[in-house]
Every structure is written in C-alpha cells, then in structure tokens.
C-alpha cells in the first residue's frame, strides 16, 4: 500500500503518540521546571514527528534521510531527558513512554540503516 501522507507512516503515528504522552507526564513537573527540563522534553518530543513529516515532504531521498536522522537525534534527547526526570523523581517510570521510545527508535534506525 502506497502512503498518501506522512500521517500514514506508522513511525509518525507512534512518535505523535509519544509527544502526547510527554506532554501528559510533564504537566505535573515542579513549577521550577516550567522553563527547564519540561520545556526541553516537550520541544525535543515535538521535533520527532515534525522532522519525519518535513522529511517526507522533501523531493530527494537524501533530504528525507537527513530529516529522519534529526528525528532520531531528537528521540535520543527525549530518552535522556526522560531518564533524568525519572531519576530526579519528577515522574514515575511510564511503560507507555518507554515502549514508544523503543518502538520509534527501532523504526527510525531501520529506516536510516536498511538491510542491503
């Protein structure tokens, strides 16, 4: 089945769900983190599906791959920031977030490093 839109991509759908979960878990961060870790996590999370969408709209495969690479880097940022939030006890471990981080990471990795 040919994709008609970036919204048809499973990796975009899962990364979009990840953004929603990040917003949900950062809602209860301490007020001191409003412009700190909370904001950084949200921006990095939003960057993932945004870059997948932008790359999808590009005309050249190399550009698409570049945007997927940026999305992957943002995913690793979110993973690091999530770990910090857990260790700082701003949030309890969240199975949904951890599963989405793994799934999106695996998908992006496979898209960037296809089996030859």
Question: pLDDT by residue for the chain (116 residues), tens digit each?
Answer: 577 899 999 999 999 999 999 999 999 999 998 889 999 999 999 999 999 999 999 989 999 999 999 999 999 999 999 999 999 999 999 999 999 999 999 999 999 998 75
Q: For residue 107, what are the CA distances in angstroms to 29, 63, 101?
A: 29, 18, 10
pLDDT at residue 59, as a whole number? 83
- What range does the domain containing 29 cover? 7-112
pLDDT at residue 115, as a whole number? 75
Looking at the 3D structure of the chain, how many domains does it have?
1
Position 2 in a domain: no
Q: What are 7's two structure tokens?
A: 């919204």
pLDDT at residue 2, as a whole number? 72
Helices and strands per DSSP (H, E), number in the chain? 4, 0
Position 1 in a domain: no
Where residue 86 sits, what CATH number does that domain have?
1.20.1440.60
């Amino acid at each position: 089945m040919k994709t008609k839109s970036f919204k048809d991509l499973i990796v975009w759908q899962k990364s979009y769900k990840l953004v929603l979960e990040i917003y949900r878990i950062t809602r209860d961060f301490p007020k001191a983190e409003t412009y700190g870790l909370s904001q950084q996590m949200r921006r990095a999370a939003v960057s993932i599906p945004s870059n997948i969408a932008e790359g999808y709209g590009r005309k050249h495969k190399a550009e698409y791959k570049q945007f997927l690479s940026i999305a992957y880097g943002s995913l690793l940022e979110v993973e690091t920031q999530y770990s910090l939030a857990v260790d700082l006890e701003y949030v309890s471990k969240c199975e949904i977030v951890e599963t989405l981080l793994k799934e999106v990471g695996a998908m992006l990795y496979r898209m960037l490093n296809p089996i030859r």
